[in-house]
Structure 1
Amino acid sequence: MWSDNETLRDLVNFSHVAEVAAERIVGAKGEPLSLGISGDWGVGKSSMMKLLRTSLEAREDVDIRFVEFNAWLYQSYDDARAALMETITAAVVEQAVEKKDTLSAKARKRAASLFGRVKKLRVLGLAGSALFDYMTQGQITPFIAGGMATMGGLLDGEVSGDDLKRVKELTAEGIKGGKELLDNEKPQEKSSDEGSETPRKAIQAFRDDLEATLAELNITLVVLIDDLDRCLPKTAIATLEAMRLFLFLKHTAFVIAADEGMIRQAVRTHFEDVALNDDLVTNYFDKLIQLPIRVPPLGTQEVRAYLMMLFVDAEESLDDDQKEDIRLEVCRRLGETWKGERVDKAFVVGLVSNCSSGLINRLALAERIAPILTTSPNIRGNPRLIKRFLNTLSMRTSMARIQSVAVDEEVLVKLLLFERCGDKDAYAELLRAVNESEDGHAEFLADKEARARNNEAAPPLEKPWNDLFHQNWLSLDPPLAGRDLRGALYVGRESHPIISRADELSSDAIEVLDMLLRMNSSSSTVNDELARLTNQEIARITDKVISKARQETAWGVPPILNALQSLAGASPAAESSIVAFFNEVPSTQIKASIAPRLNQVEWGRRVLTGFLGRLDIATPTRKAIVAAGKTS
């Protein structure tokens, strides 16, 4: 199994992007900087963050202190803004303790005061900044803002006792908050260097002390904020707003990893009462992020290399040093793909001494499926989704081995690709065909696979089989039409039920179904056995026979027609289902020889009348139907 977590091992030559980001941070020489690492879920933003940290840690020309902050972990447990402040402060104070022997007394005092300032900012933020604008300087406490809906309830003409009680509570709380703030506005008995502090002054004092401490320590504080796009809009915006407290402080660099699209949606949700156009949302993000870095999407070359490296990493015959040498060569080669170089099976096999046959087969598999995993709308070369695909494949392979189910791994891969990326209705059609087949073959795929492999004589592909994914899937080796797929579907049953005939039918009904499917002519014995079954069992048998009949491509007098005739005579419901089936049979499949057979029974004559009403029915078939009608 392959780990789904971020990694320090660069398998697709992303290190150069991390190096560029590291150069920008070092090159800022203490000037404030904010970077945004963006990309869709699972493309490797967290791994890019780790690669960036590794690159910075390897540099000797700058002293860097790292702070890792995951807002998602604090969601619903703490105020994200206060948590970010405390995390940053703890890192600075810890650094100050380590360097206390080289710091001045004033610098030590300033560093020690940072925790006290964070506590005060917590109190100011949670107790409320005041009730009125002239008290708050434009701020509203979360408590008062949260009660606005109750206040608004007084204006809708539906005032209840609970409303009045809530207003009293809010008023009392507001007066208390206002009094506390007014007390804060009064000069306090403090040392001369602290002076009196309003909330605004407290924030500025915190910034000043932090910036001065960083300068005294001669370090650059690099704050790595990850998983912001996992947060609810409120937490995401609160974290971004908290960043504003630290942004543009000297000796700081903020690196934010997030899906830019989700952050933009969070901004829209947060300011839902304000008419925001795309430009305003963009401006909000751009004011926070000075240097945007997007994780490059993987092309076919990178997906192929990524798959091959995952297989190399899982190869037990190779030691860690060999795997690392191969990784470095693959990344070097990826850096040369712009001039026509390729990372393919031949290249990787050439890097592995005494390459095992198992690894060679897996490298060949990677080469075949890489284009589909790159272009499939459901995967699009996403590294995390590719890992999950391979982990599911590994689990099913193990399940087959443990349960002694004979199955070809390449068949498992092809079916799993279809399950993950194909049209749901088309996949259901495949399942139905296998479940209803006596030998587990999906015979309807034969013409489709032939057409996808450039056999012009095969019928043209129709939706959804004619889109790019399904055509590529049909042409992918091995062909499936002539294979028993029951074992492969059995080990994948966690995603779909396996429904066999024995699950739905009594033993007597199963025997009758087998007799129907073997009929080559009419049989009174079969008709008598059908008469002994319940209407419910006849209905289930009819569905299965019709499913088998759908595999026919020429309707003259195929053997399955005998089964349909027997069923139609067994119950009115079965007759209606069979008439409906024939009404859907394409005109091109209807042959003249069917007319005399259907003309023998009343329901058959109704079907033939329907055929005559079609404008595209073949002339010989039309003439045969007319002639049969004259004899009845």
Structure 2
Amino acid sequence: MWADDASKIDMLAYRPYADLITEIAVSERMNPLTIGLFGNWGSGKSTLLNLIEEQTTSQSDKKIAVIKVNAWMFEGYEDAKTALMEAILQGMKENQSFIETSKARIKSLRDRVNWMAVGKTVLKQGVPLAITGLTGIPPIIMPNSSSFDSPEGIQKQIDQVTKFKEEYLKAQPEGNVIENIRGFREDFSFLIQESSVDNLIVLIDDLDRCNPDRIIDTLEAIKLFLSVPRTTFIIAMDENIISYSIKRKYPQLNDEGINVSSDYIEKIVQLPIKIAELAESDVKNYMLLLIAEMFLEENALNQLLEKLKVKGVFIKGEIISGTEILGIVQEEIEVNGSIYKTGITETEFEQQIQIFNSIGSIVASSLKGNPRQTKRFLNTFYIRKRLAEIQRIEFNLAILAKLMVLEYFDSDLFKELFQWQFEHSGKPLQLKTLEEQVLGEPKEGEPFNIEELSKNTTWTSDKMKRWLGTQPRLTDIDLSPYFYLAKDSVSERRLFSVNLNQEERKYINQICDLDINVSIRRKRIEKMLEMDEVTRNEVFKGVLEKYHQDEAQVETLVECHKLLPQYKSKIFDEFKNLDGKRIDLSKILLFQQLDTDSFTELKEYYIEKKNADRKLWELGGMK
């Protein structure tokens, strides 16, 4: 299994990016500088930050102080600006690169930041006008009258506010807001110059997880207070989320046709670096390397990566084959002996490398170039694998992987396949026909009609042909155990809330099969009269849910209305809930099959209550 966070091993071939960014960040000529690492969710921004941190701290010719800040951790703080400034100053205090004499200046700046935050909080909460008169602090709003119910309470508030006044005024620099910002910048800049640090590099991660106001406040804190000589800020963020936050903050400029988000980002970020979406070949390579990471010891994994880099696999954009990985691993075994993690066998590793090697390309095409999605796919695979092992379910890993591919790239087709196998005791006849016909292996006497197989989705796209052709073939395989493991993905919440067993659900599907002869459907519906009342009610609920999912099932309800008198009232109410504008002549002709009184009542209801076309209803009602 893999944690859903940044990797410390470069399996995405991001090292060249880290080297370049480090080279720029430590350049005296370039600072002060703010670098933006732009990439979508899960694209590997945090992994790249880790590599940059590793590279910058290993600089031997310069004294670099690196501080890493997770912006999301300060989401609950009152003020984003002061929270960021406090975090950076705390990091500087703990960093060995700053000499002892810097500690006093750091403390002074931290006190200043703390009083900024306290001042903002007090002003926001307010104190009563009576205390204002006693202390001389300008009038502000009283927060809670219960604080002044007794002489003791009043005196307590007076003492607190008086103390605040004395301390706040002592800590506050004189002058207006602009002068205070300038003063902080000067003190912060002098602190860095006074130290022996050549460059302070601040890595900010997860900014795009914060709320829009906090995102803007954080960016403004960097620009106004912290961007001084010998500093470099490297911010990992999703540009789309940052742009949304800016437009939300300044909507009036958007209305003027000004591209406010682009201009704003350019003011904050001097060097934007965009992390490209991984190509399908990159995702497949990443998947195979993740498998290797799970099975191999760290040294062996690093050797594998190094040999692949020497071959130029990543630079050339080549696809790594499972055979290539197994060959390199075998070479390592011959030199160093066993290189597998405890409890891992060579056979197990080879089997799973080969499985994902065979389906890797089609999996990669479904994961949208996203490393995090790749991890989640593999985590789900191994969770289901382990569930099967715990319950002693016999299964084939390759079949599990192949079905998960369909689940990921087209959930509707996956659910449709679930229905097919459900109706045929785990072995869907429709899938057998698809494999034979789409893959060019038709049998004589078995005509093929895609429209009959699937009315709402297509099984004949190029992607589906690739999936169908991927080994193993699924014809005559019992798929029910695999869908059991994936029941969280296939269960229709409404239908499966009905208390039905497998046979009863199968029976509902048979009743609602619109392709069968009407007389056969009627016989199936009539069998409900032979059921006990509890079962019959549950089955009817299931039929209603099918109708709610597909309005074409109105045909089935019409038959139920005629054959199941105990449900006529409920069915009639369903007919009355239809959208009057969507009732065409074909539906009216169906309703005409109802008994005369029911049809007449329904007609009058739609004409009088929903302004339906009387002529259309009368035309449909003609015998």
Q: Tell me if both proteins adopt one fold, taking TM over 0.5 as the criterion.
A: yes
Which whole-Å CA distance do the structure 2 matches of 1:255 and 1:493 have between them?
A: 43
Contact 2:322 2:353 in 1 (8 A): yes
Contact 1:301 1:342 in 2 (8 A): yes
1:249 aligns with 2:228: yes
Q: Give the SS at the match of 1:173.
A: coil
1:200 aligns with 2:190: no
Letter in 2 for 1:372: I
Which whole-Å CA distance do the structure 2 matches of 1:319 and 1:195 have between them?
A: 57
Contact 2:67 2:92 in 1 (8 A): no
Letter in 2 for 1:86: E
Q: Given the alignment, which residue of 364, 368, 393 partners 2:358? A: 368
Question: Post-superposition shift, 1:293?
Answer: 1.4
1:357 aligns with 2:347: yes
Letter in 1 for 2:415: A
Which region of structure 1 is more displaced relative to structure 2, 321-330 or 446-455?
446-455
Q: Which residue of 2 aligns with 1:434?
A: 421
Contact 2:388 2:394 in 1 (8 A): yes
Which whole-Å CA distance do the structure 1 matches of 2:183 and 2:433 have between them?
A: 76
Letter in 2 for 1:384: R
Question: Post-superposition shift, 1:465?
Answer: 2.2
Q: Give the SS at the match of 1:504.
A: coil
Q: Given the alignment, which residue of 96, 102, 114 partners 1:119? A: 114
1:397 aligns with 2:375: no
Question: Post-superposition shift, 1:143?
Answer: 7.5
* Distance change >3 Å, CA 503–CA 96, structure 1 → 2: closer
Deviations, residues 546-573 of structure 1 (Å, cap 9, x unaligned):
x9xxxxxxxxxxxxxxxx9xx99x9469
Q: Given the alignment, which residue of 500, 518, 529 partners 1:504? A: 500
Contact 1:304 1:344 in 2 (8 A): no
Letter in 1 for 2:375: K
Letter in 1 for 2:109: L
Contact 1:224 1:254 in 2 (8 A): yes
Q: Give the SS at the match of 2:140.
A: helix
1:288 aligns with 2:268: yes
Deviations, residues 317-361 of structure 1 (Å, cap 9, x unaligned):
x433222211222344455552x7542122111101169333222
Q: Give the SS at the match of 1:313.
A: helix
Residue segments in structure 1 that go unaligned for 5+ positions in a row: 129-141, 145-170, 515-521, 548-563, 578-602, 604-632
* Distance change >3 Å, CA 232–CA 537, structure 1 → 2: same
Question: Post-superposition shift, 1:64?
Answer: 1.5
Contact 2:358 2:470 in 1 (8 A): yes
TM-score by length of 2: 0.68
Q: Which residue of 1 aligns with 2:210?
A: 231
Deviations, residues 407-449 of structure 1 (Å, cap 9, x unaligned):
111111122222222142x222211222222x41111112323
1:533 aligns with 2:516: no
Letter in 2 for 1:348: I
1:299 aligns with 2:299: no
Q: Given the alignment, which residue of 343, 348, 353 partners 2:325? A: 348
TM-score by length of 1: 0.67
Which whole-Å CA distance do the structure 2 matches of 1:476 and 1:386 have between them?
A: 19
Which whole-Å CA distance do the structure 1 matches of 2:265 and 2:531 have between them?
A: 70
Question: Post-superposition shift, 1:41?
Answer: 0.8
Residue segments in structure 2 that go unaligned for 5+ positions in a row: 127-137, 144-160, 334-344, 511-519, 547-555, 572-592, 594-623
Question: Post-superposition shift, 1:259?
Answer: 0.6
* Distance change >3 Å, CA 539–CA 127, structure 1 → 2: closer
Contact 1:32 1:247 in 2 (8 A): no
Which whole-Å CA distance do the structure 1 matches of 2:116 and 2:202 have between them?
A: 20
Q: Which residue of 1 aligns with 2:158?
A: none
Q: Give the SS at the match of 1:292.
A: strand
Identity over aligned residues, as a percent? 25
Contact 1:222 1:252 in 2 (8 A): yes
Q: Which residue of 2 aligns with 1:48?
A: 48
Q: How many pairs does the alignment contain? A: 488
Q: Give the SS at the match of 2:254.
A: coil
Q: Which residue of 2 aligns with 1:414?
A: 402
Which whole-Å CA distance do the structure 2 matches of 1:13 and 1:510 have between them?
A: 50
Q: How does 1:11-410 map to 2 (within 5 A)?
A: 11-29=11-29, 31-95=31-95, 99-100=99-100, 103=101, 110-127=105-122, 172-173=139-140, 196-219=174-197, 220-275=199-254, 277=257, 279-315=259-295, 318-333=296-311, 335=313, 337-338=315-316, 341-353=318-330, 356-376=346-366, 379-410=367-398
Q: Which residue of 2 aligns with 1:447?
A: 433
Letter in 2 for 1:205: G
Question: Post-superposition shift, 1:19?
Answer: 0.9
Letter in 2 for 1:63: K
Contact 2:69 2:204 in 1 (8 A): yes
Q: Give the SS at the match of 2:286.
A: helix
Which whole-Å CA distance do the structure 2 matches of 1:298 and 1:512 have between them?
A: 45
Q: Give the SS at the match of 2:201.
A: strand
Question: Post-superposition shift, 1:289?
Answer: 0.8
Which region of structure 1 is more displaced relative to structure 2, 461-470 or 227-236?
461-470
Aligned Cα root-mean-square deviation (Å): 4.4
Question: Post-superposition shift, 1:541?
Answer: 10
* Distance change >3 Å, CA 348–CA 252, structure 1 → 2: same
Q: Give the SS at the match of 1:352.
A: helix
Contact 1:407 1:488 in 2 (8 A): yes
Question: Post-superposition shift, 1:232?
Answer: 0.9
Deviations, residues 188-244 of structure 1 (Å, cap 9, x unaligned):
999xxx984433222211111111110121311111111111111111111111111
Which region of structure 1 is more displaced relative to structure 2, 59-68 or 467-476?
467-476
Q: How does 1:595-610 map to 2 (within 5 A)?
A: none
Question: Post-superposition shift, 1:83?
Answer: 0.8
Q: Which has the larger radius of gyration?
A: 1
* Distance change >3 Å, CA 357–CA 28, structure 1 → 2: same
Q: Which residue of 1 aligns with 2:619?
A: none
Which whole-Å CA distance do the structure 1 matches of 2:180 and 2:504 have between them?
A: 86
Q: How does 1:471-482 map to 2 (within 5 A)?
A: 471-482=465-476
Question: Post-superposition shift, 1:534?
Answer: 5.5
Contact 1:70 1:228 in 2 (8 A): yes
Which whole-Å CA distance do the structure 1 matches of 2:285 and 2:105 have between them?
A: 52
